[in-house]
Structure 1
């Protein structure tokens, strides 16, 4: 019996995505209301993106993650929507998050 498992897609952040995360983290750290919750959501997005088998760019994954209502606090949701430049567009198709 073989113990072969399907390989996850190789994922790595592009330079502009790493710079975005660094600037986003610094900016959210200065937000007195909701900044810590938004930073925790940002960390969750990175971990979830790496764990998902869907081959999707990080920026697009983040936008979908927030649009689907995964931020648990209204302030974090507002901060992340502002950060990602989201407006009132209809939500995209749901993506699967790894457990």
Structure 2
């Protein structure tokens, strides 16, 4: 009987990714509106990245995670998008309704 199991990809962060996490965590902790939720999302991103079997860099995984709408909170999503440099399409101007 063989006790061999499939090897998972070894995950390790680059130094700049670790520095990014430290600075991002500190910055999000200081945000009064939505910062705690965004910080919890950031922790979820790290845990999810470690759990995935896909061999992908952490920064790319973060961008995909947020782009897929996993934040589930509008303010946290906005904070994470700003943090990761994800630009949304410009919002169309509101239509001005004429008073009848």
User: What TM-score, normalized by structure 2, do the two folds share?
Assistant: 0.85
Partner of 1:6: 6
Higher radius of gyration, 1 or 2: 2
Question: What is the alpha-carbon distance in structure 2 between the residues aligned to residue 6 and residue 44 of structure 1?
Answer: 25
Q: Give the root-mean-square deviation of aligned CA atoms.
A: 1.1
CA deviation after TM superposition for structure 1 residue 3, in Å: 3.5
CA deviation after TM superposition for structure 1 residue 87, in Å: 1.1
Partner of 1:83: 83
Task: Please list every run of 5 or more consecutive structure 1 residues that lacks an aligned counterpart in the other structure.
Answer: 90-99
Task: Please list every run of 5 or more consecutive structure 2 residues that lacks an aligned counterpart in the other structure.
Answer: 90-100
Partner of 2:26: 26
SS in 2 for 1:87: coil
Query: Which stretches of structure 1, 4 residues or longer, exceed 3 Å deviation after superposition?
Result: none
SS in 2 for 1:37: helix
Superposed, 1:1-99 pairs within 5 Å as 1-88=1-88
User: What TM-score, normalized by structure 1, do the two folds share?
Assistant: 0.86
SS in 1 for 2:45: helix
For structure 1, which segment, 19-28 or 4-13, has the greater mean C-alpha deviation from structure 2 after superposition?
A: 4-13
